[in-house]
Copies of this chain bind each other. A is one copy, B any other.
């Protein structure tokens, strides 16, 4: 991502304010100027007064398409949605017992989960600052519950540290912070930073390092009840005669520097990964279903788009009914196309060469998710883990613990893999059965006692093999953004693209919705001018 162009101007302004009014005025101004804004969502689009009879065809009944149809219908447009699948929601999807799923290559999985259990192959968590999605969830009556994103008590596993054994996140993180604090305090006390830090700030810094990093009076990070208060005890405090706690020994500094430790710590500070997060009660597809209820009568299912044509008067979309094989054409004044780029690039689409180049320029990621149904919640009962993720450097990348029905009895579904990059590539090349076996083998490293013993059934989705997306989501980089992004989001005569790929919030439902609002707002403006 590239740095925005407005910073210098704003900074000059703030600098002038600081000179005139001091620090308090500066921070006041920063607040007033919208410092640390959290969303580009400014409410539902304000569309109104569509010309009588004006029509829009929407391609794709995912969230972007359904939101466009919903808002355009409200504005007075005649809207129709063509959807490839027999189901609305797109990547907003949950697999449940009884579902059947056939991937590219032909392998079919019949999902055997118990009633109430599910795997969310696509989106599975909602950040608190995804205001567009939260707005429509509330408006459309989708009940949300906390998604436990951050859990101090999960495991961090590296095959090259801690003897290859998983360690608790709190212990590893505490030791990382303690060692960092001790080393920096040592530098300060050795006068190594006297030129960089004022005398007053050196004192503040030492106090901070001692407090934050749990250093002793000599600025050392040592095994003690104090450090155990962050990293966990050998024997925790209890009651009565034997209530006194016992301190735990520290991990080796070399191990604590393992990338699995600090990437886990940094992960939780990521913009989209920060708490508080949410999930719909009952599975992620509750959102897609709620959107679908708003636009149900507009959707033609099983419609495979084969050609998108346009001229000065309108748009004409040819499609085939995948159930009957019959072909048809749908016409409209305008088109909102939310078809994933990898699929769209293979359709005969009448856009400029620049637009087609943009469509073809953006590769899609191919994550693999695997759901494993276990007989009981051993992670809760035996390991005291309620939600959150145990990260590993194995191909599965993580084991993530369900956030629904905490403390429940009976079977529950673990996310046994959320593989990316090479790990995903390898898992996608396996049969569904081999994927499960790999997930069991690698997950057993985290939970050796119970993983295979409690396993009942599993399901996997390799996004590179999903027929209707050919990938998980768009992976822009700095170069493709510069060369193609504005072309991709611009209206191409009567066609405008929308979806997470037409946003800077790639791979998130929020990106799809913000893109959709921006696209239909511009479409409406163009339609009013036409």
Binding site for B on A (CB under 8 A): 1-4, 6-7, 10-11, 14, 22-28, 30-31, 34-40, 128-129, 131, 134, 138, 144, 146, 148, 150-153, 162-165, 168, 170-171, 173-174, 176-177, 180-181, 183-184, 186-187, 190, 192-193, 196-198, 200-201, 204-205, 207-209, 211-212, 214, 223-225, 228-249, 252-254, 257-259, 261-263, 265-266, 269-271, 274-276, 278, 384-388, 406-407, 481, 485-486, 489-490, 498, 502-505, 511-519, 522
- Selected contact of A1 from candidates B240, B245, B257, B502, CB within 8 Å: B245
- Assembly CA distance A247 to B2 (angstroms): 9
Q: Are A271 and B232 in contact (CB under 8 A)?
A: yes
Q: Are A38 and B240 in contact (CB under 8 A)?
A: no
Residues in B with CB closer than 8 Å to A128 are 153, 384-386
Per CB-CB distance, the 8 closest pairs between chain A and chain B, nearest first, are A240-B518, A239-B514, A40-B238, A239-B515, A4-B246, A27-B163, A237-B504, A239-B503
Residues in B with CB closer than 8 Å to A27 are 162-165
Residues in B with CB closer than 8 Å to A134 are 407
Residues in B with CB closer than 8 Å to A513 are 239
Given A24-B164, A28-B163, are A40 and B247 also a contact pair (CB < 8 Å)?
A: no
Q: Are A28 and B174 in contact (CB under 8 A)?
A: no
- Assembly CA distance A316 to B176 (angstroms): 56
Q: Would you mind naming 28 contact pairs between A and B with Cβ atoms under 8 Å apart?
A: A11-B249, A24-B165, A35-B248, A36-B234, A36-B248, A37-B233, A37-B234, A38-B153, A40-B237, A40-B242, A40-B243, A144-B406, A148-B275, A151-B275, A180-B181, A183-B196, A212-B265, A237-B503, A238-B503, A238-B504, A238-B505, A239-B517, A240-B503, A240-B522, A242-B518, A243-B518, A244-B504, A276-B385
Q: Are B171 and A180 in contact (CB under 8 A)?
A: no
Residues in B with CB closer than 8 Å to A241 are 486, 489-490, 518, 522
Q: Are A504 and B204 in contact (CB under 8 A)?
A: no
- Assembly CA distance A30 to B183 (angstroms): 26
Given A224-B3, A503-B243, are A148 and B35 also a contact pair (CB < 8 Å)?
A: no
